[in-house]
Structure formats: structure tokens, C-alpha cells
């Protein structure tokens, strides 16, 4: 049985869509990391432990493609821009290391699909791990780490946590959290 990725259209002006896959028990994490860093793979690899909902990724991806379109990217590639947009910090290195993969054997693989084509199938088949449905994403989320990263440790309730996180993400350029 094949697990379908999450797909959504981003801002219509960018003519881009987002495609997200979730994997666990990945055995070739180091190879994947090297391929992404070298630019051989055109995708973003994210730690699922810091993602509460795929909407969080969609917001970051939308901001990344809009920054690319308006030539206002802070990072070198639209894929690293996606990771940068997930973070509250304006420090690029911290953003990439915090949200990008290191040694985790679970990962979210995000593709930005546009007129240049869809390379997702070629890359996904190179990942030596078990693909999981995105509906199980919350079982990978570490709420305490998430609250620490987004500076929400004093939050008494997890109600509206996604709204608060997304609000913090999109206002990082205006507010010093």
C-alpha cells in the first residue's frame, strides 16, 4: 500500500505547490543530509519532532517561495529559506541546524513543485526508511522541545498552540521574541 504525500498549492503568484512526505526508521540519514547540503537534492529535510502540524510547514514554504519571487531571500536557496522561516531566530546557521536533520532517523521531506518539474519521486525512492501517513505526524512531535524552540514554556495550555507558533513564525521580522 502506497502512502500519499500531503500536497497543497502555495501563493498563486508563485505557481508553486508543496509536497510533503513523512518517514521513520531512516537508515541512510547521513547520505540524505550530504545530498541536501551539496545541493544534489532539491528539497528541505525537517525534523518532525519540531512540527506540530503540516500547516506550519506550508506557511514556511509559502513565505520561502514568495521571498524567492521577490528576491528577498535571506538564505542561498528556497529550500534553506523554508527551514529559516520555521525558526524564530534570524541566525541562519541556528535555524538550519535546529530544524534540519542531523542524526534523527525520522524526517519530513518537503518539495516545492513548479514549472521546473517534480523530482520528488526520484528522491523519495532513494530514502531507505518507512513512509508514514502525514496523519501520524503528531506522534513524532515533541511538545516540550517545540515549546522550548518557540519560547512557549510558560504557556499553561496547548490549546491554540499551532496558531501561536505560526503567528510567531510570521512576525519574526517585526518582533524580537
User: Considering the domain boundaries, does residue 47 fall inside one?
Assistant: yes
- Banded model confidence at residue 28, pLDDT cuts 50, 70, 90: very high
State the pLDDT at residue 86: 96
Residue 162 has pLDDT above 90, yes or no: yes
Would you say 69 and 14 are in contact if contact means Cβ atoms under 8 Å apart?
Answer: yes
Whole-prediction pTM = 0.92
- Banded model confidence at residue 68, pLDDT cuts 50, 70, 90: very high
What average pLDDT does the segment 54-69 reach? 96
User: Considering the domain boundaries, does residue 176 fall inside one?
Assistant: no
Helix (H/G/I), strand (E/B), else coil: 19: strand
CA distance 107 to 90: 23
Residue 87 has pLDDT above 80, yes or no: yes
State the pLDDT at residue 115: 82
Domain range holding 98?
Answer: 6-168
Lookup: cell for 94: 541556528
Residue 177 has pLDDT above 60, yes or no: no
Give the residue ranges of DSSP H helices in the chain: 29-37, 54-69, 78-86, 92-99, 120-124, 143-149, 161-170
Contacts of 42 (CB under 8 A, 6+ apart): 79, 111, 112, 119, 123
Tens digits of residue pLDDT in 95-129: 999 999 887 889 999 999 988 889 899 999 999 99
Report DSSP state, residue 9.
E
H-helix or E-strand spanning residue 111: strand 107-113
The number of folded domains in the chain is 1
Q: What is the mean pLDDT of the chain?
A: 91
User: Considering the domain boundaries, does residue 174 fall inside one?
Assistant: no
State the pLDDT at residue 159: 77
State the pLDDT at residue 61: 96
State the pLDDT at residue 109: 93
State the pLDDT at residue 102: 80
Residues making up the chain, counted from first to last: 177
User: Considering the domain boundaries, does residue 55 fall inside one?
Assistant: yes
State the pLDDT at residue 176: 61
User: Considering the domain boundaries, does residue 49 fall inside one?
Assistant: yes
Q: CATH number of the domain that 145 lies in?
A: 3.30.2380.10
Amino acid at each position: 500500500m502506497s502512502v500519499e504525500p500531503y500536497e497543497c498549492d502555495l501563493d498563486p503568484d508563485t505557481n508553486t505547490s508543496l509536497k510533503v512526505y513523512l518517514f521513520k526508521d531512516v537508515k541512510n540519514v547521513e547520505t540524505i543530509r550530504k545530498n541536501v547540503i551539496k545541493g544534489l537534492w532539491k528539497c528541505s529535510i525537517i525534523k518532525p519532532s519540531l512540527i506540530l502540524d503540516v500547516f506550519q510547514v506550508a506557511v514556511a514554504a509559502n513565505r520561502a517561495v514568495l521571498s524567492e519571487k521577490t528576491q528577498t531571500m535571506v538564505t542561498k536557496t528556497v529550500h534553506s529559506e523554508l527551514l529559516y522561516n520555521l525558526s524564530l531566530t534570524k541566525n541562519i546557521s541556528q535555524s538550519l541546524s535546529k530544524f534540519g536533520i542531523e542524526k534523527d532517523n525520522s524526517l519530513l521531506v518537503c518539495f516545492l513543485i513548479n514549472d521546473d518539474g517534480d523530482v520528488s519521486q526520484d528522491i523519495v525512492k532513494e530514502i531507505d526508511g518507512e513512509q508514514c501517513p502525514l496523519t501520524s505526524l503528531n506522534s513524532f512531535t515533541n511538545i516540550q522541545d517545540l515549546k522550548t524552540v518557540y519560547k512557549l514554556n510558560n504557556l499553561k495550555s496547548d490549546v491554540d498552540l499551532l496558531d501561536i507558533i505560526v503567528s510567531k513564525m510570521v512576525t519574526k521580522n517585526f518582533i524580537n521574541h
